[in-house]
Amino acid sequence: MWRGGRHPLGRALHAAGLRVDDFEVPGRLYLLSHFHSDHTRGLSRRDPGAPVVTSPETALLAARLHRVPEERFLLIRGGETIDLESPTRLRVTAIDANHCPGALMFLVESEWGRLLYTGDFRLDETMRAAVRALPPVDLLVADNTYDHPRYRFPRQEVAIDEVVAIAERHVRERQVAIAVYTIGKTRILRALRERLGLPTYVGEPTARAYGVLGLADIVTRDRDSTPLRGYARGYFERYFKMRREYREGRTIAIIPTGWAVDVLRPEWNFHYVPYSEHCDFHEREEFVASVRPAAVEDLLEPAGAGRRHTGAPSAPSGTPAIF
């Protein structure tokens, strides 16, 4: 959710009726960066609403899972540009955000200036090249999820190798439960499918989302076909530790999250792996330095300032719920 911030450009776009990841306030045009719940608030089939510019994957998820009419979406892919006349003359360019499937960032060019809105992103080589080709940006609104230098993550491939290695060590003797989000951590489940030959058992909503995205073979609804389990993070905090299988060592937990950096004494049989689909502090610094915007605003308000980024259904106390 972004309400225009404090910068004159953001305020002018908001006043003109542009809404970005925010469907709670009526608008004349919406941009939707990706299908995580803290970015889709207010989006529903009942809202007749103005057009929504988003990726084909996000549109499909919103149409199938939230039953939003498909005709409401204007589709854009990473690298594409579309010109719009309403609510004002706008040129919108999408850049692949390397976050969850279908996630985009948006460059919005208007009579008041150029806004680059990142949504949630993880820096990668394609993005570095895309950013180098950008025209001058007046206002950058950037993902600041991990806003301290202690957050320095390994490359995703390295973290995925670690998850696969842990799963491989245990998978013949016990269940391996992995913290996943309905949409997200997809690369981990794909790697487990490809390298261990095993799908991950997931709940119905996650299985439906994977089906919509054409990734149904990575997951299963058949508990007996695999020792891999995919649960939401909240499940590990509330129920997992109470289960007899856990207490008796017949199941272990793998928690892939950027917050792994803060876990100094993990619980028994919990493995925290610093896999993140957000940029770390240093990647954000690099991103801002290469965009060289005239002004920068944070996407997230400081902790305790009201809104929390919630990619997950619930959070352990003291730990932001981000996947």
**Where does this chain touch Zn ion (CB under 5 A) — which range of 30-38, 69-77, 79-87, 174-182?**
30-38
Smallest separation (angstroms) from Zn ion to the CB of 99 = 5
Task: Give which of 85, 114, 117 is closest to 104, Cα–Cα.
Answer: 117
Smallest separation (angstroms) from Zn ion to the CB of 309 = 8
Q: How many residues bind Zn ion (CB under 5 A)?
A: 2
Q: How far apart are CA 79 and CA 176, in angstroms?
A: 38
Question: Which C-beta is closer to Zn ion: that of 181 or that of 236?
Answer: 181
Distances (CA, A) of 6 to 14, 87, 126, 297, 304: 11, 20, 30, 8, 19
Per CB under 5 A, contacts with Zn ion among 81-100 are none
**Where does this chain touch Zn ion (CB under 5 A) — which range of 32-40, 73-81, 83-91, 297-305?**
32-40
Smallest separation (angstroms) from Zn ion to the CB of 197 = 29
70-92 in b/e form (b: 16+ CB < 10 A) is eebbbbbebeeeeebeebbebeb
Question: Which C-beta is closer to Zn ion: that of 72 or that of 278?
Answer: 278
Q: Which residues contact 223 (CB under 8 A, 6 or more apart)?
A: 201
- 284 by Cβ neighbours in 10 Å (0-12 / 13-18 / 19+) ranks as buried
Question: Which C-beta is closer to Zn ion: that of 14 or that of 34?
Answer: 34
Number of C-alpha atoms within 13 angstroms, CB side, residue 21? 23
Matching residue, tokens 């809202």: 47
Figure out which of the listed residues 36, 193, 229, 233 binds Zn ion, where binding follows CB under 5 A. Answer: 36
Question: Which C-beta is closer to Zn ion: that of 120 or that of 283?
Answer: 120
Smallest separation (angstroms) from Zn ion to the CB of 58 = 11
Question: Which C-beta is closer to Zn ion: that of 24 or that of 173?
Answer: 24
SS3 94: strand
User: How far is Cα of residue 33 from the mean position of the Cα atoms in its chain?
Assistant: 9
**Where does this chain touch Zn ion (CB under 5 A) — which range of 35-43, 74-82, 205-213, 262-270?**
35-43
Smallest separation (angstroms) from Zn ion to the CB of 140 = 18
Question: Which C-beta is closer to Zn ion: that of 227 or that of 311?
Answer: 311
Smallest separation (angstroms) from Zn ion to the CB of 86 = 28
Smallest separation (angstroms) from Zn ion to the CB of 105 = 12
Q: How far apart are CA 141 and CA 10, in angstroms?
A: 9
Question: Which C-beta is closer to Zn ion: that of 54 or that of 226?
Answer: 54
**DSSP states of 300-312:** SPPTTSS-----S
Q: Are 159 and 153 in contact (CB under 8 A)?
A: yes
Letters for 202-231 (x = contact with Zn ion by CB under 5 A, - = none) are ------------------------------
Question: Which C-beta is closer to Zn ion: that of 130 or that of 299?
Answer: 299
**Where does this chain touch Zn ion (CB under 5 A) — which range of 29-37, 69-77, 139-147, 262-270?**
29-37
Smallest separation (angstroms) from Zn ion to the CB of 311 = 5
Smallest separation (angstroms) from Zn ion to the CB of 3 = 18
Figure out which of the listed residues 22, 57, 96, 120 binds Zn ion, where binding follows CB under 5 A. Answer: 120
Distances (CA, A) of 200 to 30, 177, 210, 221: 35, 9, 11, 8
Q: Are 163 and 188 in contact (CB under 8 A)?
A: yes
Q: Which residues bind Zn ion (CB under 5 A)?
A: 36, 120
